[in-house]
Amino acid sequence: MLDIIIFNVELGQCIFLYPQSQPEYGTMIDCGNTPDFDPIDVLIEYNLIPGVNGRPQLSQLILTNYDQDHFSGLPGLRSKVYIRSVIFAKNLSSIEIKLIKPTITRAVTAVCEIKEEYINDLPNTYTPPFKTHCFTLSKNEFTTSPSTNDLSQLVFIDYNGFVICVPGDLEHEGWRLMLQKPEVCSLLSRTKLFVASHHGRENGYVEGVFKFCAPEVIVISDKSLVHDTQDGMAQDYASQVSGNGILVHSQRRKVLTTRSDGHILVNVDSKGSATYNTIRF
């Protein structure tokens, strides 16, 4: 059984993968938080991160994007747990990240330090019960200077045929180039849970993605509607879901949003079938 927790961190993203029979392989995709809520505190409180030598150890941290809403909780995460391994996009160096940031926050400093410290490949003995596929675009694949959103890391997690797609903040040009990669298209065709790019905003929605992808549900991680680019997007995404969607609290749903549903819990069984619920902490 694999538990997937999509935390409500408002304008941000934090997803935790918890393999029940092998909790030592717990993995976090992005580590956004809010001033009043930090997912790592919940994971520690509920013993979802096992301790090693008296200190909680997170098996892996994956960042999809170098915007702060995807890693705002990193300083606290580093102080509370040992991070065993990381997968960060390699298309921006630490120096480049600092140059594009108007303010060098503690979180930005933490990202740059980790990029410089974690340089070794994972050992062959690292064998989590799910497969991770990550794709990034190099700057020379673009004909013009790319946005930081289009340099997002596109992440797929495959657990017994249940595939979750987490595209960071990819926008139109980034998606166009990603769709030229046959492996990306193949994984999209098998995706069951699709996390909307750029928090469900209009510039992350690309119809071409759904020529390959017909998920059973789409999740939007975002705060209350405050931008015109958010308006109506849930309906657009719902039109791309296959069938009648999924069952949540006796209701059929095609789109779930953290702004309306709060924290979302997905339980995937050994056959790759999923059940969906909302959860409170």
Model confidence at 226: pLDDT above 70 = no
Model confidence at 54: pLDDT above 90 = no
For residue 23, CA distances in Å to 17, 161, 193 come to 9, 20, 22
Per-residue model confidence (pLDDT) at position 163? 98
Per-residue model confidence (pLDDT) at position 103? 92
Pairing label, strands 263-268, 162-166: unpaired
Model confidence at 31: pLDDT above 60 = yes
Closest CA to 128 of 28, 216, 265: 28
Which residues, other chains included, contact 143 with Cβ-Cβ below 8 Å and sequence gap of 6+?
none
- In tens, the pLDDT along 76-127 reads 999 999 999 999 999 999 999 999 999 999 999 999 999 999 988 888 889 9
DSSP 228-239: GGGTTHHHHHHT
Pairing label, strands 263-268, 274-279: antiparallel
Q: Three-state DSSP class for 175?
A: helix
Per-residue model confidence (pLDDT) at position 253? 96
Could you give the CA distance from residue 64 to residue 89 in angstroms, rounded to a whole number?
Answer: 7
Could you give the CA distance from residue 81 to residue 84 in angstroms, rounded to a whole number?
Answer: 9
Range of the domain at 9: 2-279
Which residues, other chains included, contact 173 with Cβ-Cβ below 8 Å and sequence gap of 6+?
142, 146, 147, 150
Could you tell me the CATH number of the domain that includes residue 225?
3.60.15.10
- In tens, the pLDDT along 160-208 reads 999 999 999 999 999 999 999 999 999 999 999 999 999 999 999 999 9
> For residue 190, what are the β-bridge partners?
none
Per-residue model confidence (pLDDT) at position 262? 95
pTM assigned to the model: 0.96
Per-residue model confidence (pLDDT) at position 49? 94
Model confidence at 228: pLDDT above 60 = no
Number of domains in the chain: 1
Model confidence at 57: pLDDT above 70 = yes
Question: Is the separation of the CB atoms in 39 and 79 below 8 Å?
Answer: no
Q: Name the average pLDDT for the chain.
A: 94
Per-residue model confidence (pLDDT) at position 120? 82
Closest CA to 67 of 20, 101, 92: 101
> For residue 56, what are the β-bridge partners?
51
Per-residue model confidence (pLDDT) at position 125? 87
Per-residue model confidence (pLDDT) at position 225? 59
Pairing label, strands 82-87, 55-62: parallel
